């Protein structure tokens, strides 16, 4: 099973964004060690648009979960070392490594598969 090797340490940088204060490492089952460097900017799960539209209930189910996995996923999408499909699979495994329930991890995964294409290899911050 994938495992995070250290603690997520961030500081708030605006209403939605965070800056990583120390590197974050995930030992992924399929892709080995993935390390996000300190200084990387993330908005975690990029779900704020759900808050402002008719999907508020879905937002409520996802908000506040998966910050570790979302940070790794944002970095993978920004830097592009893996394919989009591989990065989305890393997100799912990272969510499970955080202890997120399968159904909730699936919702995150389905969301990025459906709506994440425009963000791949684009800085999320």
Asked if residue 124 is part of any domain, the answer here is no
Asked if residue 125 is part of any domain, the answer here is no
Number of domains the chain contains: 1
Asked if residue 97 is part of any domain, the answer here is yes
Structural domain including 76 reads: 3-119
59, 33 in Cβ contact below 8 A?
no
The model's pLDDT over 73-88, given as tens digits with 9 standing for 90+, comes to 999 999 999 999 999 9
The model's pLDDT over 12-48, given as tens digits with 9 standing for 90+, comes to 998 779 999 999 999 999 999 999 999 999 988 665 5
Where is average pLDDT lowest: 19-23, 61-65, 99-103? Answer: 61-65
């Amino acid at each position: 099973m994938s495992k995070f090797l250290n603690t997520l340490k961030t500081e708030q940088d605006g209403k939605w964004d965070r800056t990583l204060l120390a590197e974050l490492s995930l030992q992924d089952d399929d892709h080995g060690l993935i390390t996000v460097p300190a200084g990387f900017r993330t908005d975690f799960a990029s779900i704020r648009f759900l808050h402002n539209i008719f999907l508020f209930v879905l937002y409520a189910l996802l908000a506040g979960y998966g910050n570790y996995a979302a940070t790794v996923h944002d970095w993978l999408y920004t830097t592009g070392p893996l394919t989009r499909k591989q990065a989305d699979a890393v997100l799912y495994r990272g969510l499970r490594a955080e202890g997120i329930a399968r159904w909730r991890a699936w919702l995150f995964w389905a969301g990025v598969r459906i709506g994440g294409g425009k963000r791949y290899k684009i800085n999320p911050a």
